[in-house]
Structure 1
Amino acid sequence: MSLFDQINEDMKAAMKAREKEKLEALRGIKKVLLEAKAAKGASAELDDQEVVKVIQKLAKQGKDSAAIYQEQGRDDLAQQELAQVEVFETFLPEKMSDEVLEATIQTIIESVGASGMKDMGKVMGIASKQLAGQADGKDIADKVKALLNK
């Protein structure tokens, strides 16, 4: 079953169970996925990788919004955002541990032959593609900088 189909099934289950927050988050995902399908130049079907990218983007936006709400003293809105982020994360692959991320990036650095910060673009290009969905882009960039500055 594709990820898109799984989201539809979870929507039905949330409706039957009357889980309002979960249903709202799932509808948000489906809306964005349908918009991505209908976008000019897009293929008729989204594969699971594209769906994961969309959900990652939604999760990041939700976390950013929650942080802004907390800064402004709106904990009620922050909690709503974080509840939706929890639903989004159920569809995402498990995040890579810090040690595994560092080892993977070190391997990429060695394979590219990077010797300093001037090679960061080369390393980031490969690392971003290879680690897509497994680690956050900011975490990848931070690790690359730290390892290239050694």
Structure 2
Amino acid sequence: MSLKTTIDADIKAAMLAKDKVKLLALRDIKKVILLEETAAGKGGELTEADEMRILQKAVKQRKDSAEIYKQQNREDLLEKEQAEIDVISVYLPKAMSEDELKEALTAIIAKVGASAPSDMGKVMGAATKELAGKADGKAISTMVKSLLANS
């Protein structure tokens, strides 16, 4: 079942449950999916990778907003953003643990033949493609820096 179909069903359930926060987050995701489908050159169908990219972007935007609200002591808005992050995260695959990430990145470093911090670009290119949807870009970057610094 596609993400769009799942979101539609969950929107109906949120309406029936009168869950405003969930409904708002799901409608926002549906809007972004529809915009992507109708974008020039897409042909109306999104791949699973496109759907994961959309969800990750939505979560990242909300995390950035939440950070700003936290700095400005806006607890009301911070709670709203955090609730939306929780709703959207349900549709994302389970994130890799730190040990799993380290193991995967060690394999990628060996595969691309990186040995110094100057090879970070090669590693990041391969890692972001291979670990898309499984790990946060910031976590990947931090781990790659530490692994290349120690080699």
Task: State the TM bucket, normalised to the shorter chain.
Answer: over 0.9
**Number of equivalenced pairs:** 150
Residue identity opposite 1:127 in structure 2:
A
8 Å CA contact 1:112, 1:123 repeated in 2: yes
Residue 117 of structure 2 is matched in structure 1 by 117
- Alpha-carbon distance between aligned partners in 2 of 1:43 and 1:106, rounded to the nearest angstrom: 38
- Alpha-carbon distance between aligned partners in 2 of 1:69 and 1:137, rounded to the nearest angstrom: 22
Residue 35 of structure 2 is matched in structure 1 by 35
- Alpha-carbon distance between aligned partners in 2 of 1:126 and 1:48, rounded to the nearest angstrom: 19
8 Å CA contact 1:22, 1:87 repeated in 2: yes
The alignment yields a C-alpha RMSD, in angstroms, of 0.9
Runs of 4+ in 1 over 4 A off after TM superposition: none
- Alpha-carbon distance between aligned partners in 2 of 1:17 and 1:27, rounded to the nearest angstrom: 15
8 Å CA contact 1:4, 1:48 repeated in 2: no
Give, in angstroms, the shift of residue 36 of structure 1.
Answer: 0.9
Residue 108 of structure 1 is matched in structure 2 by 108
Give, in angstroms, the shift of residue 145 of structure 1.
Answer: 0.7
Unpaired segments ≥5 residues, structure 1: none
- Alpha-carbon distance between aligned partners in 1 of 2:22 and 2:14, rounded to the nearest angstrom: 6
Residue identity opposite 1:48 in structure 2:
E
Residue 76 of structure 2 is matched in structure 1 by 76
Secondary structure of 1:133's counterpart equals: coil
Give, in angstroms, the shift of residue 113 of structure 1.
Answer: 1.2
Give, in angstroms, the shift of residue 46 of structure 1.
Answer: 1.1
Query: Identity rate of aligned residues, in percent?
Result: 49
Give, in angstroms, the shift of residue 48 of structure 1.
Answer: 2.1
Unpaired segments ≥5 residues, structure 2: none
8 Å CA contact 1:25, 1:88 repeated in 2: yes
Q: Which moved more, 1:102-111 or 1:35-44?
A: 35-44
Give, in angstroms, the shift of residue 40 of structure 1.
Answer: 1.6
What aligned pairs does 1:1-150 form with structure 2 within 5 A after superposition? 1-150=1-150
TM-score by length of 2: 0.96
- Alpha-carbon distance between aligned partners in 2 of 1:145 and 1:22, rounded to the nearest angstrom: 37
